Amino acid sequence: MTDDKYKIQKIDDYRWRIPREGKMRVDGIVYADAHMLEDIQKDESLQQVINVSFLPGIIKHSLAMPDIHWGYGFPIGGVAAFDMDEGVVSPGGVGYDINCGVRLLRTGLYRVELVNKLESVVNTLFANIPSGVGSHRKDLKLSQQEVKNVLKNGARWAVSLGYGTKEDLEHIEEKGCIAGANPELVSGRAIERGLAQLGTLGSGNHFVEVGYVSEVYHVEIARVLGLEKDGITIVVHTGSRGLGYQVCDDFLRVMINAARKYSIELPDRQLCCAPINSQEGREYLAAMACAANYAFANRQMITHWVRESFERALHIGPKESKISPVYDVCHNIAKFEDHIVEGEKKRLCVHRKGATRAFPPNHPDTPDAYKAVGQPVLIPGDMGRCSYVLVGTEKAYADTFGSTCHGAGRVMSRGQATRTAKGRSIAQELKEKGILVRADSRATLDEEIPEAYKNVTEVVDVVEHAGISKKIVQLKPLCVVKG
């Protein structure tokens, strides 16, 4: 099968090549099935895959996961790795919501115990965790110096103040703190935006979702992850809030000038970038690490308030709730990692934008608890269907720089979703399915209707059949707090 516009070539049922031509430095590789590929071609995301391939120092391929859709610069669902000496770093390859990511919590509770208490749980969560545009905590406003401590130390800062335990840190990517963060490179405006937003969901597709394990595909691996049939789980999806947005915005201006300064030819201004080893490149990475650490701390604080909310709503203590992280992964990040390139280990700068790290068993960066099974991969779906827990594989490490999809991927713009939802009560529709939902506004629910997203099961099936992740359990929602 080929496509006239992009000259797409079929590699197999789940991979497609956009062959290198003109100023492309590498091929584009798209993970999708045939039906999905038709939908992907309806926006400009494949052109963005091509555009990324123009960037200096790109290694092997410009990659796209099956949840790909149009984004700023890079497509959302895009992955690209760059040589440390010749390559570049691009804020468009990370995104505005730096370290938007997902944390999965397991519990000692079962579905039958929550059936008649869901309303109390969701109302307590909604009251305890601020959500919506500009949401902030009235009980936690930090000083500028304290924000800088958060930017330097990430989730460790939260744990040091009693918002969690040291064991929590063992179950977070990079143990909840990316090295090299320099708060002095973060603007006063970004710090100001971060003063009161720690421990908040924000808006858009962010959420806290209480669900249960509905299907188990690998019992032994699920047991290692602490997951079993009908066990209650909580998914936290949020990022670095206004602080991360401001860091990205500040450095886009820097990078536009840097691309000109270093004579980097850009097919799209949104791909503005600088050499990794330039002053601009180093400064962006140090500021990006600060925003990523803020996001890790944010999810850690929300974890604390999730624990508190469950105990309050159910009148139980920590020994009964047993809420602990399975894992916490970044979705929007650029990181230094070792990968095998042409038979040799090389240090690369890997950009993942709307993509999840998926390292295999026995990899040095796979947490000790999961060395035998591989790094947990958390793939949330929309609020009306389901989510999945997978693990990383050797094939992902070999083929995609240890990367996989990050979610369902939008198929409708927010405006289109709002028009589709007109005249409907989304909250009532979900309630009829047994799912309680709370949101800051009706507009949020309208923008986030389930049909605004691809079917996450189809997305997950692609990455499993392609061998870049292994499906372990399915989760179904019981109640959701939306951003």
CB 392 within 8 A of CB 377: yes
Q: Is residue 339 annotated as part of the catalytic site, yes or no?
A: no
Tell me how far apart the 2 most distant CA atoms of the chain are, in Å: 65
Q: Are 46 and 27 in contact (CB under 8 A)?
A: no
Active-site position among 237, 331, 339, 406: 406
Residues with Cβ within 8 Å of 259's Cβ and at least 6 positions away in sequence, in order, are 266, 272, 273, 274
Angle between helices 279-314 and 118-128 (to 10 degrees): 140
Which string of DSSP letters, residue by residue, matches 292-346? HHHHHHHHHHHHHHHHHHHHHHHT--HHHH--EEEEEEESEEEEEEEEEETTEEE
CA-wise closest residue to 68 among 30, 33, 97: 30
CA distances from 171 to 208, 236, 328, 365 (A): 18, 14, 7, 11
What backbone phi and psi angles, to 5 degrees, belong to 384?
A: -110, -5
Q: Which residues are catalytic?
A: 406
